[in-house]
Structure 1
Amino acid sequence: MMVNERLRASIDVAPRTAAFYEHVITALEEEGVPFMLGGAFAFEVYTDIGGRTKDLDLFLHPRNVKAAMAALNRRGYDTEMKAEHWLGKIKSGEDFVDVIFGSGNGLAVVDDVWFEHASPAEVLGHEVRLIPAEEMLWSKSFIMERERFDGADIAHLIRVAGRTMDWRRLVDRFGRFWAVLLAHVVLFDFIYPADRGRVPDWVRGELLGRAGDGAVDQAAVDERVCFGTTLSRAQYLPDVEGWGYRDGRLKPFGLLGETDIEHETERMRKELGL
């Protein structure tokens, strides 16, 4: 998906922070480690809504994470793996860069397709690649925390890029979680009634058809799965810890193991002071 031939991000950051970001980007370029930028920088390029960044989000294929972290460690930066299945951090004083290779719920794993459809852009004076708008939408769709809900970001992405998105790839990305995409399409139609054409009719038809046919994941019914944990790491803990539901992030319904979920829950509780 290409929004333009050449795109630029103009988010203002402190000079010290910008120098750190540029050094990280330069280091990966020199080491030949493929990467993409996401987060506020990519969102600003796609939507022209900026000024919200507190860090830099680097997206890497899982196979390249160790090389990237080692390269930055050799250059004197502190590096840490915060979650083995999706997140690392590079630190310089109070500034940090997130190294992302998946998602907290385990579903949006960075693969070669992300790189095949990445968009070229200019960020901080560097020619870089941005994560595709489709994969940005896919990963953001599952963020429905009490303290953070990315629904507005998704609506804005569809408004500016919906006509050129690869909707077939996007629908396929959601797989068994197609109802989450349907929910966001319904919200988009409510938010922008004059812009329904930005979502192809066949997408609504296919997703509403599944809902109308009463499509049921029988295995999930039989196992009493709660998929709410793929949307919020905190708000559905009572369901899986006390009410007898199976955590939807767990294999085979999700992609995580028990240890991954335990670590993610512990990290969440520390972050939120629970």
Structure 2
Amino acid sequence: MSSPFLRTPRYENGRMREPPHASASIPSEAFYARCLESLSHANVAFLAGGSYALMQYCHLVRETKDLDLFVRESDLETVLAVLRKSGCWTELPFPHWLAKAHAGEDFVDIIFNSGNGLTAVDDDWFTYATRTTLFGVQVALCPIEETIWSKSFVMERERFDGADIAHLIMAQGHRIDWQRLLRRFGSRWPVLLGHLVLYGFIYPDEPTIPAWVMEELFRRGRAELAHRKSTSSGRDPKRGPVCRGTLLSREQYLTDLGRGFQDGRLPPHGTMNPRTIAIWTEAIRKNR
């Protein structure tokens, strides 16, 4: 499908003068509008995200082949029933995070978690959502913080969402609730720190990140280093060494699992189970 964003943004002194606008004749627009209207009329809670959220937040021009809708897992069956009633056929290819609704070649992704199982859609996604109009329908948009949180763990060979995060921070850093973002990452704060360090390299003249955020994350880094130095090993002898790389890429760290490392997607480090991991891993072969 060709890109729905057909206007080239105008720049002056290296900065965008005006955002790109969606074409009046977007392929699949009627299907997307029908899905949004059906869910809205049924009073089902959902959020728009993905490429359309990026366009709203930072005018990022992006080719896209679908529409991403985010829902609570508890609402999934209701959402799929509404879409089936509107004429779609639905499937649940990945029972731990993703369903799909199809109509011919068009489809909508129904997302209730992430591929690594870490960023479940909960009430906060809706509490802090913003409002926008998409395909003529008033919808709620995924919050900036949750968009950054969920994208931060996407580090595949074929897809790395770091540029999306950098653009979001540059465009919306003044609106980000940094305390809430830190809470979202919790013990996985090193992933956020990595993206923020990269942001400083990418945009050295855009000091959007508050100094206290970097100071706090560096403080945590120093404390963790001191803890490692004070203990002979941070490894749990009952579990053996762990590889949390599988939380960042479903394929690139599989070789480590064959070398004795524990899969970071399993408890206590992650939330997945052997069955969902097997389904997610088998999809690597199918997508080639």
Q: Normalising by the residue count of structure 2, what TM-score does the alignment of the two structures yield?
A: 0.87
Q: Which residue in the other structure is 2:50 paired with?
A: 39
> Which structure would you say has the larger Rg?
2
| Greater helix content | 1
2:88 match: 77
Counterpart CA distance in 1 for 2:270 and 2:195 is 21
Runs of 4+ aligned structure 1 residues displaced above 6 Å come to none
Partner Cα distance (1:116, 1:231) in 2: 27
Contact map agreement 2:35 2:86 (CA 8 A) in 1: no
Alignment of 1:53-92 (within 5 A): 53-92=64-103
User: Equivalents in 1 of 2:178, 2:27: separation in Å?
Assistant: 40
Q: How does 1:166-177 map to 2 (within 5 A)?
A: 166-177=177-188
For each residue in 1:162-203, what CA deviation from the matched residue of structure 2 results, as whole angstroms up to 9, or x when unmatched? 12101111111111111000000100000111112x111111
CA apart distance, 1:220: 6.1
- Confirm whether residue 21 of structure 1 aligns to residue 13 of structure 2: no
Write the distance in 1 (CA, Å) between the matches of 2:27 and 2:219: 52
Query: What's the Cα RMSD here?
Result: 1.9
Tell me if structure 2 keeps the 8 A contact 1:220–1:253: no
Partner of 1:269: 285
How far 1:9 sits from its partner (Å)? 9.0
Find 1:232's aligned residue among 228, 234, 249: 249
Please give the residue correspondences for 1:142-157 in structure 2 after superposition, counting only pairs within 5 Å: 142-157=153-168
Change (3 A) 1:192 1:18: same
Superimposed CA distance per residue, residues 64-121 of structure 1 (whole angstroms, 9 cap, x where no aligned partner): 1100101111222110001111100001111110000000000010000000000101
Task: Go from structure 1 to structure 2 and tell me whether the alpha carbon gap of 1:91 and 1:12 turns closer, same or farther (over 3 Å shift).
Answer: farther
Aligned residues: 263
CA, structure 1 residues 218+82, in 2 after alignment: closer, same or farther (shift >3 Å)? same
Distance apart, 1:53 and its partner CA: 1.7
> 1:13 offset after TM fit, Å?
8.1
Counterpart residue number, 1:209: 219
The equivalent residue for 1:4 is none
Q: Displacement, 1:146?
A: 0.3
Letter in 1 for 2:256: D
Letter in 2 for 1:233: R
CA distance in 1 between counterparts of 2:106 and 2:42 reads 22
User: Residue 117 of structure 2: SS of its match in structure 1?
Assistant: coil
Name structure 2 gaps, 5 residues minimum: 1-18
Q: Do the aligned partners of residues 127 and 9 (structure 1) sit closer, same or farther apart at CA in structure 2, a change above 3 Å counting?
A: farther
Distance 1:27 1:44 in 2: 23
Spell out the pairing of 1:103-142 with structure 2 (5 A cutoff): 103-142=114-153
The higher relative CO (CA closer than 8 Å, separation ≥ 6) is in 1
CA contact (8 A) 2:47 2:141 kept: yes
2:193 paired residue number: 182
Q: Are 1:227 and 1:247, in contact at CA under 8 Å, matched by a contact in 2?
A: yes
In the alignment, is the contact (CA less than 8 A) between 2:92 and 2:99 conserved in 1?
yes
What per-residue deviation string (whole Å, max 9, x for no partner) do you get for residues 12-47 of structure 1? 485551000011011101211111000111100001
Structure 1 unmatched runs, 5+? 1-7
Q: Secondary structure at the match of 1:98?
A: strand
1:27 and 1:72 in contact (8 A); partners too: yes
Q: What is the TM-score of this pair, normalised by structure 1?
A: 0.91
Counterpart secondary structure, 2:34: helix
